[in-house]
Amino acid sequence: GQEGAARCRAALPDPAAKAAAWAAMFDSDDLSNYLFTATALGFWQPEQAELLREYVDRFYDAAIALGDRRGPAMAEAAGRQAFPAYAVDAASLAVGEARLADGTMLPALHRKLVDQLDDLARALRVREG
């Protein structure tokens, strides 16, 4: 029940709900891995692209800091579940690739982001036809 509620709260199309979900995921260490995952799954909604735009670039620094604080398991969860996969555009890909190149993240997050960015690049090529 708690996981479903966390997912639903994070999915609300409201700036305050998004800010609260982001803060719970990345600015606090209070969420369990399960509640982090539920919140992340609710957070990114493709039909809310305009509302979420500001969070796409913020994801990388936030995920790196979270991994540094909470370790490889949470870093992997952030890379897997909290990645903005819906943001299929060249700018998002460029930001992600630049962050990978700087080499300042835990290996667990790095590996997950390599996979996610590969999927993002593939989706971008398909969209461009």
Q: How many structural domains is the chain composed of?
A: 1
pLDDT by residue (tens digit) across 63-103? 999 999 999 999 999 999 999 998 999 999 999 999 999 88
Alpha-carbon distance of 67 to 65, in angstroms, equals 5
Structure pTM? 0.92
The C-alpha atoms of residue 107 and residue 113 are separated, in whole angstroms, by: 10
Which pLDDT belongs to residue 95? 92
Q: What are phi and psi of 59, to 5 degrees?
A: -55, -45
Task: Note down the domain range covering 63.
Answer: 2-128
